[in-house]
Amino acid sequence: MTKLEQYNIHIKLLSYLPFWVLVFLMTGCSQNREDRNVKTKQIVNVIEDLNEVKQIRKATYYLENSESMLGYVNGFTEFVDVVSELAEKPQFVEENIFREFYFINGAGANIRKTYIGNNPSKLKSKLNPTGFRVGDITKSDLNNMFQIALDNAGGDSISIIFSDCIYDIGQSYAPFNALATEGKGTRSIFIKRLINENIQTVIIKLHSQFKGHYFPVSKRGRIPIAQTRPYYILIFGEYDLMNKYFNDEYISKLKGFDAMARFFKSKDVKIPYHVTAENLKGSFRFDRNVSNKLIEVEPDRQRLDFQFSIAVDFSALPLSKSYLESIQNYSCSENYSVSEITPSVKKSVNVNFTPTHLITTYAQINPYGKLEISLNHSTPSWINETNSIDDKDIKNDTTQTIGFKFLTDDIREAYEHVNHGKRITTFNVEIIK
């Protein structure tokens, strides 16, 4: 039986789990303790088996091999090193995860996948200009590439794309109009896939030595260059699998790593939180009946402001430490501001979970009412810095990609659409005088 068949069976078993528990409770009084223990162990074993399903069954790799990519495989470059590393990711080797490798190029109905095989050694033998010359290397079609990759991601399968992420718009008289149009196509592809599935997307920016030809978006011809150029890896997969196999620590160690961004459906993520008296200025009491409700609140007598902290457990979110601890990624309701976010493993007496962070918030005037603190989806600064609107001076540009913001903005907008807004999670506190 394949892993996928096992996965489907486990999901069906899980749907009946409440029924089994009910039957167990109804019949427990008429059975001896030994029988009840056996049934309990059976239920526990089912739950443990379900947990074991959380692993990748298949990883599919797509290497864009249009002519603009040849410069990345001209010699032993950082690009070659990273492709080789991901092809033989130690975790994949240890778990004997099945891997398939493809070249992909062409456009529209003529887009072509060229099967390289399932042996990483065969892939590595192709990482050179000769090996890359397969199919229609004159064209690339990002939208179709994303469609193909997304079709092969989900459940226990992931997809990985290597590309320079430059839209092939042909010889357009209005290149940025064409880029915007292509970007909207990307957004639609993602929305359709995200409606019913919790697919996470990771975009990684890396740099590599490049010796080959650059093809300007706004004019005909080619420009020979020998310099550092950025390229990108996009990984698509189920939320939990992406967190397990592609954490920040592993990604940041890839050779030539520059930056990364994660896009995910946040409405299914539950974040435990509770008000604490940490960093307190002023005074309050906890309401005995309502969680996260403060009563008898009094501002600090000297400064006339009120400050307290919320303990939160962000461990379920696939966000970097820097993202979670950046004040700019938070917003508050009127009169309140976030002053700092600090790591914490201190368990307060009124908290039934181990917090990862403390969010300290304060009000300088009128602290009373219903407070909302939100962690928001924010566009990382590196995305705007990477975007270029002109590739005429490409020989002096080692960090930017023309039209990159069209790509990332439309992926972000797709996730915002299915998330119904920019908030990742919101913490609500009622504050009563």
Instruction: Compute mean pLDDT per 10 residues along the chain, 433 residues long, and list them.
Output: 46 47 46 51 46 80 96 97 98 97 92 96 97 93 90 95 85 64 83 91 98 86 95 96 94 97 85 93 94 94 87 92 93 93 78 91 92 92 91 93 88 90 92 94
Distances, alpha carbon 150 to alpha carbons 69, 246, 248, 271, 336, in Å: 22, 17, 22, 28, 41
What residue numbers bound the domain in which 23 lies? 3-52
Model confidence, pTM: 0.82
Instruction: Say whether both 158 and 182 belong to one domain.
Output: yes
Instruction: Say whether both 202 and 92 belong to one domain.
Output: yes
Instruction: Say whether both 206 and 232 belong to one domain.
Output: yes
**In-domain check, residue 413:** no
Structure tokens at 142: 């990002």
**In-domain check, residue 233:** yes
Instruction: Say whether both 46 and 84 belong to one domain.
Output: no
Instruction: Say whether both 151 and 282 belong to one domain.
Output: no
Instruction: Say whether both 69 and 48 belong to one domain.
Output: no
Can you give the pLDDT at residue 226? 97
Instruction: Say whether both 99 and 31 belong to one domain.
Output: no
Domain count, the chain: 3
Q: Hey, which bits of 151-198 come out as E strands?
A: 157-163
CA 160 – CA 234 distance, rounded (Å): 6
Residue 319: closest CA among 424, 420, 403, 222: 424
Instruction: Say whether both 129 and 190 belong to one domain.
Output: yes
CA 11 – CA 53 distance, rounded (Å): 10
Can you give the pLDDT at residue 8? 46
**In-domain check, residue 390:** no
CA 137, 138, 141, 142 dihedral sign is positive
Structure tokens at 37: 């223990």
CA 259, 265, 270, 276 dihedral sign is positive
Instruction: Say whether both 227 and 360 belong to one domain.
Output: no
Helix (H) or strand (E) holding 205: strand 199-214
Instruction: Say whether both 37 and 66 belong to one domain.
Output: no
Can you give the pLDDT at residue 73? 98
**In-domain check, residue 359:** yes
Contacts of 311 (CB under 8 A, 6+ apart): 273, 274, 275, 276, 278, 344, 348, 351, 355, 357, 358
Distances, alpha carbon 104 to alpha carbons 64, 141, 306, 425, in Å: 5, 9, 58, 38
What are the helix (H) ranges across 16-64?
Answer: 17-27, 33-52
Contact between 357 and 314 under an 8 Å Cβ cutoff? The reply is: yes
Instruction: Say whether both 73 and 42 belong to one domain.
Output: no
Helix (H) or strand (E) holding 268: none
Contacts of 25 (CB under 8 A, 6+ apart): none
Instruction: Say whether both 251 and 363 belong to one domain.
Output: no
